[in-house]
């Protein structure tokens, strides 16, 4: 009697009741060999489970360094494909204090200032007391003034928690911020003083032609002046004639008397 076995091929992207794929499970538990096989089978590494997590999110969350390296090398676009405002791989690694995973993500090109509703990765590391990760993020140039959805910086959140660990991280952050302030001040003092450019002499600008209203006014003035001159000439002529007439009459009268 022969038994016939049917070979069944399970699609690598099939999901369980929590919408995890085989790649999610392998990444979460750090099974790098399985991850390698699944990536060769073209398993989609951007698929998300019911908690909106990608395989890279789970690898970062649990500190599976080798898997993190494999995923970011095979799919660099994972550095910028964040479909949620709740977390990024950097936030998850920082929250759990996975220093090497944080370093790997930053080296792979993930934005150190990437933000979620909870703020930056510095918020996560500071709130959960991960001193080494806080120092790494500060050394990487993270903006300590980034605020969460409630308008709080990481330093302001730490001041709400008087625990000793929080106080130590607060002192560390204040030290870094003070050094940054001094560096900025020193850089400004070293900048050369810029001399004001020498103004170039202005060329003579020709006077604009008179406007129509001014030309009309000039014409009106010239006309009135002409009329006034004409009237003056007429008056002078009339006066001269009048005087001449009187002079003639007087001469005639004197002549008649002499006779």
Which range in 136-145, 162-171, 204-213, 220-229 is most confidently predicted, on average pLDDT?
A: 136-145
Neighbours of 133 (CB within 10 A): 25
CATH number of the domain enclosing 148: 1.25.40.20
In a domain, 1, yes or no: no
66 token code pair: 């080798």
* Helix runs in the chain, H state only: 22-28, 32-40, 55-61, 65-74, 89-95, 99-107, 121-127, 131-139, 154-158, 164-190, 212-258
Assess whether 121 and 176 both reside in one domain.
yes
Q: Which of 52, 78, 104 is the last residue of a domain?
A: 78
155 token code pair: 């330093």
Q: Which of 54, 78, 102 is the last residue of a domain?
A: 78
Q: Which of 26, 55, 78 is the last residue of a domain?
A: 78
CA distances from 135 to 82, 121, 144, 167, 168 (A): 25, 12, 12, 14, 11
Task: Give the residue among 155, 136, 135, 160 at the shortest CA–CA distance from 144.
Answer: 155
Encode burial over 64-100: b for 16+ CB neighbours within 10 A, e otherwise: bbebbbbbbeebeebbeebeeeebbbbbbbbbbbbbe
pTM of the model: 0.68
Assess whether 59 and 123 both reside in one domain.
no
In a domain, 118, yes or no: yes
Instruction: Judge residue 32's burial from the number of C-beta atoms within 10 Å of its C-beta, 0-12 exposed, 13-18 middle, 19 or more buried.
Output: middle
Taking CB atoms within 8 Å and a gap of at least 24, the contacts of 245-251 are none
Assess whether 60 and 118 both reside in one domain.
no
In a domain, 103, yes or no: no
In a domain, 7, yes or no: no
In a domain, 228, yes or no: no
At residue 199, the pLDDT reads: 55
In a domain, 25, yes or no: yes
Question: Does residue 87 register a pLDDT over 80?
Answer: yes
In a domain, 57, yes or no: yes
Range of the domain at 132: 113-185
At residue 107, the pLDDT reads: 96
At residue 152, the pLDDT reads: 97
Residue-wise pLDDT for 36-74, tens only, equals: 999 999 889 999 999 999 999 999 999 999 999 999 999
Q: Look at the chain and report how many structural domains it folds into.
A: 2
């Amino acid at each position: 009697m022969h038994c016939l076995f049917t070979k069944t091929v399970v699609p690598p992207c099939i999901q369980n009741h929590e919408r995890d794929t085989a790649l999610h499970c392998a990444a979460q538990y750090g099974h790098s060999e399985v991850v390698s096989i699944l990536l060769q089978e073209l398993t989609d590494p951007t698929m998300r489970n019911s908690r909106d997590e990608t395989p890279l999110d789970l690898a970062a969350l649990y500190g599976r360094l080798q898997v993190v390296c494999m995923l970011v090398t095979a799919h660099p676009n994972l550095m910028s494909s964040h479909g949620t405002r709740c977390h990024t791989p950097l936030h998850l690694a920082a929250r759990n204090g996975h220093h090497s995973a944080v370093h790997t993500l930053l080296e792979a090109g993930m934005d150190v200032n990437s933000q979620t509703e909870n703020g930056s990765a510095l918020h996560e590391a500071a709130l959960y007391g991960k001193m080494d990760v806080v120092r790494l993020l500060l050394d990487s140039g993270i903006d300590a003034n980034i605020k969460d959805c409630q308008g709080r910086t990481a330093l302001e959140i730490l001041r709400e928690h008087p625990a000793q660990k929080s106080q130590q991280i607060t002192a560390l952050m204040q030290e870094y911020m003070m050094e940054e302030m001094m560096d900025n001040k020193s850089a400004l003092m070293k900048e050369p003083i810029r001399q004001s450019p020498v103004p170039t002499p202005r060329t003579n600008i020709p006077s604009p032609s008179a406007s129509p209203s001014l030309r009309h006014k000039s014409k009106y003035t010239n006309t009135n002046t002409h009329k006034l001159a004409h009237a003056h000439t007429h008056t002078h002529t009339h006066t001269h004639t009048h005087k001449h007439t009187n002079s003639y009459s007087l001469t005639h009268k004197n002549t008649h008397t002499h006779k």
